[in-house]
Amino acid sequence: MTAINIEMKIFKSSTILIVILLILMVAYYLILQNYKAHDTNNMPTDAHNDTLVHKKQINNKVSIDTIVSVDFLTGKFNPAKDTSFTLVDPEYGGRSDMYLLKDTYKAFIKMFYAAQHDGVKLYIISATRNFVYQKSIWEQKWNGSKLVEGKNLATSVKDPVKRAEIILKYSSMPATSRHHWGTDVDLNSMDDKYFSTTEGKIVYNWLCANASKYGFCHPFNSKNERSSGYEEEKWHWSYMPLSRIFLNQYKNKVTYANITGFSGCETALKLEVIKNYVLSINSECK
Ligand SMILES: [Zn+2]
């Protein structure tokens, strides 16, 4: 074998090695890019972003692309420390410590002034209630420290399922309340009698005629319109552009394993509270 032949062989081998190396580098780069894209798609947003509402402008229409966690949907966060939420000015409400998602709040203010223009006074008496807050309401009723229908349920209703059913007429189980989402408000009075007064009737009729113009709907409408769920709540209104999305995400993400951590939580599955309460709302709010 001549020296030239040996050199040619070495040259050919080196070329093959370089080509193999290049192929490997390109393959590595492609795998890395694919991994990054995949990672970004599945990446949970950081603690704050988890509850943020992201808006996208597509073809001049605002579409809302919302990423929310199970923790958000089940109220496991503190609205006072979350930048998606804002404090409700006492001008619009009966208390100084209420929070709403910023978009809900903006829509409510528009509705508030429209109502005021028509001589109707709206005021928020309850807004966002997180898991801890709802747990305290639920457990006071569960353990009898707050009477329900004039009764101490801890002593008068021993059967846990029956006790839960009575509380569920007007109060959600923690982790199942629409009030967790920053989209729902209770207006003016949580007493049905108020809505039988002249003022209450005017307020309710105004809301029924106008609330939808501002994005609000009435999830707990007459029981005649729903097969199950909470009693009618004329005071409860929901900012549908967001709550509809959250309801949909709730349906897909939340399971009974997420509805725990409070007295009587074992009744959640027996009563199928997701199907019979969370999803059993006015069809116009879905
Ligand atoms: Zn309510």
Residues (pLDDT < 70) of the chain are 1-11, 26-67
Q: Are residues 157 and 206 in the same domain?
A: yes
Q: How far is the CA of 97 from the centre of ligand 1 (A)?
A: 16
CATH code of the domain in which 194 resides: 3.30.1380.10
Q: Are residues 141 and 20 in the same domain?
A: no
For the chain, the domain total comes to: 2
**Which residue from 25, 27, 54 is spatially nearest to 242, judged by alpha carbons?**
54
Q: How far is the CA of 127 from the centre of ligand 1 (A)?
A: 8
Q: Are residues 82 and 166 in the same domain?
A: yes
Q: Are residues 38 and 178 in the same domain?
A: no
SS3 269: helix
Contact status, residue 234 vs residue 204, Cβ threshold 8 Å = yes
Tokens of 271: 């009563």
Residue 227 DSSP one-character state: S
Q: Are residues 56 and 33 in the same domain?
A: no
**Which residue from 196, 30, 207 is spatially nearest to 111, judged by alpha carbons?**
207
Query: Which run of H or E residues covers position 229?
Result: none
Tokens 């996208």 -> residue: 56
SS3 218: coil
Give the pLDDT of residue 94.
78
Q: Are residues 154 and 113 in the same domain?
A: yes
Task: For ligand 1, an ion, list residues with CB under 5 A.
Answer: 186, 236
Q: How far is the CA of 177 from the centre of ligand 1 (A)?
A: 8
Q: Are residues 6 and 90 in the same domain?
A: no
Q: Are residues 243 and 178 in the same domain?
A: yes
Give the pLDDT of residue 37.
38
Q: Are residues 30 and 65 in the same domain?
A: no
Q: Are residues 56 and 35 in the same domain?
A: no
Give the pLDDT of residue 177.
98
- Beta strands 99-101 and 124-126 are unpaired
Residue 49 DSSP one-character state: G
Q: Are residues 180 and 240 in the same domain?
A: yes
Cβ of 242: how many Cβ atoms within 10 Å? 22
Query: Which run of H or E residues covers position 1?
Result: none
Range of the domain at 32: 1-43
Q: How far is the CA of 22 from the centre of ligand 1 (A)?
A: 63
Give the pLDDT of residue 20.
76
CA-based angle 36:72:165, to the nearest 5? 140
SS3 38: helix
Q: Are residues 106 and 231 in the same domain?
A: yes
Give the pLDDT of residue 13.
73
Q: How far is the CA of 184 from the centre of ligand 1 (A)?
A: 7
Q: How far is the CA of 231 from the centre of ligand 1 (A)?
A: 11
Q: How far is the CA of 239 from the centre of ligand 1 (A)?
A: 12
Alpha helices in the chain (DSSP H): 3-42, 70-73, 102-117, 131-142, 153-156, 160-167, 198-210, 240-253, 267-270, 273
Q: How far is the CA of 125 from the centre of ligand 1 (A)?
A: 9
